[in-house]
Chain A
């Protein structure tokens, strides 16, 4: 068990300097509030969707270094992506958590690959991505 597999420098950088932390006005964006009832982690993800594309994303949340750095990376990575591309990315992230070798255009995300060796922490890493899936689902259903 190598802690450095989990807490890579790039993860700690996102934790210390989260990208896209903040809020839009509620009417400007889709808001998804999600929590992990087993540990108390929370995220409020906001996505601006224009012409089937995520034009901007922000989040606020409470959680550990893994959940917050994952949210920071995810919000950065989805900007400019179509809903399908974003969903694809969420699928790939699930693969990463299962230990599959996957590559991301936004390479920072690959730093989270070590989480799969720490099963208890996978839920931390996937919280933001689950919020993304919900946000996409919500947008598709509500046009």
Chain B
């Protein structure tokens, strides 16, 4: 993978921040967009803009083809068996909410169990809290190992015949840990439960095969994988999606409408009420083309290499704590620097042109488990280089010096 060439494709990286070349290390929050994605969205609005599935005119056909073409690309990208299994959503959060509101609430009864982990992003935690409250189901947590990983024997011990749903993040946005979702799915299925995967952090960084994982639902966000914001997708096994009721009712998702009764369109459109995010879907399609040209195996290898390099370099900084397992983590390093609050770290790094995230990363229960109120996080993607990490390390040393001086 030629990172220098790839960097050239991202216009945003060619700027200075506070007098320094931008080092963008916040891709886990949102990735940057290559020119091909930006151009695809622009071209759609300039040439093809029309509503989908309605107009019989040329633009209407072009817009529909572009939108449905993007769905086909998503289906192939994660190896769904049919594009009918791909529902366009605003992102991972909306996708998980559809599962929790439609599927889960229709099957859950009092005393049933929903199993998740303490490392879930709020998007894969609060919908289940709400589903449990609404149905009387019990929310259970697979405990974490001291390094933040999950042991399959703990999964075996937590999932029971009362479990109806197991919902786990594939790659943690704080710990970077890659969860064994294929094995967890097998355990869930042994007990008759359905497996939901939050793929927000995995889809951008690794090859995903939903059929191989044998998950029942899989959620992803476009903006974390070089696509636009406001677009994502829910994959669901066709048989399950067919038995589910829509969560949004209105235009576009209907088949026949009577005064008192109506029927719904076929999959996947029954879940896509209203005018969809057409340009977003077009942009996501372009992002998938872009990633596939590079190859997801190459992206994974690159991100893993950078993460290992970052862990190695950052481990040399005195007083720096890295959270989560030190090996087999994907694309990010979460840390704290001595007594310096992560907001202060992020501000000093920003002054050096280095963009990192600071805060609870929408994982408040995990922060409590780590016994911190907040952390800083550097996350990497295909446009980052070892030199970026060297700049991060230099800026962290400067932060230490600055605060040592300012506080001392």
Contacts and interface: CB of A to CB of B under 8 A. Distances in A.
14 contacts: A1-B351, A3-B402, A7-B402, A7-B406, A9-B406, A12-B406, A12-B407, A38-B359, A39-B343, A40-B359, A41-B374, A63-B341, A67-B343, A121-B343
Given A16-B407, A39-B343, A121-B343, A1 B359 contact: no
A16 B408 CA distance: 9
Contact of B344 (A1, A9, A62, A65): A65
Given A39-B359, A40-B360, A40-B364, A3 B351 contact: yes
Interface in B1-45: 18-19
What range describes how many residues of A lie at the interface? 20 to 34
B399 to A, nearest CB: 10
B367 A40 contact: yes
A40 B407 contact: no
Interface of A: 1, 3, 6-7, 9, 12, 15-16, 38-42, 62-67, 118, 120-121, 124
A42 B373 contact: yes
A9 B406 CA distance: 7
Given A39-B374, A40-B373, A64 B344 contact: yes
Given A3-B351, A41-B373, A63-B343, 8 more contacts: A3-B348, A3-B402, A7-B402, A7-B406, A9-B406, A38-B359, A65-B344, A67-B343
B333 interface: no
Contact of A118 (B347, B367, B373, B374): B347
Contacts of B215: none
A87 B203 CA distance: 50
A70 to B, nearest CB: 13
Interface in B356-408: 358-360, 364, 367, 373-374, 402, 406-407
A114 B359 CA distance: 22
Contact of A62 (B19, B359, B373): B373
Say whether chain B's binding surface is mostly helix, strand, loop, or mixed: helix
A66 B343 contact: yes
A66 B348 CA distance: 13
Given A3-B351, A3-B402, A39-B358, A65 B18 contact: no
Given A1-B18, A39-B359, A40-B359, A64 B367 contact: no
Contacts of B402: 3, 7
B360 A39 contact: yes
A42 B341 CA distance: 13
A143 to B, nearest CB: 35
For A38, A40, A41, the residue with the greatest tally of chain B CB atoms inside 10 Å of its CB is A40
Nearest to B19: A1
B174 to A, nearest CB: 12
A27 B18 CA distance: 49
Contacts of A42: 373
Interface in B218-261: none
Contacts of B358: 39
Contacts of B343: 39, 41, 63-64, 66-67, 121, 124
Contacts of A9: 406
Nearest to B405: A12
Contacts of A64: 341-344
Nearest to A120: B347
Contacts of B373: 40-42, 62-63
A103 B18 CA distance: 29
Given A38-B359, A40-B364, A124-B343, A15 B407 contact: yes
B347 A3 contact: yes
Contacts of A124: 343
Nearest to B353: A1
A39 B376 CA distance: 11
Contacts of B360: 39-40
B18 to A, nearest CB: 4
For B19, B360, B367, B406, the residue with the greatest tally of chain A CB atoms inside 10 Å of its CB is B406
Interface in B312-333: none
A41 B407 CA distance: 20
For B344, B358, B374, B407, the residue with the greatest tally of chain A CB atoms inside 10 Å of its CB is B344
Contacts of A40: 359-360, 364, 367, 373-374
Nearest to A1: B18
A41 B372 CA distance: 11
A67 B347 CA distance: 14
B25 to A, nearest CB: 16
Nearest to A9: B406
A14 B19 CA distance: 30
8 closest A-B pairs by CB: A64-B341, A64-B343, A40-B360, A39-B359, A62-B373, A1-B18, A40-B374, A12-B406
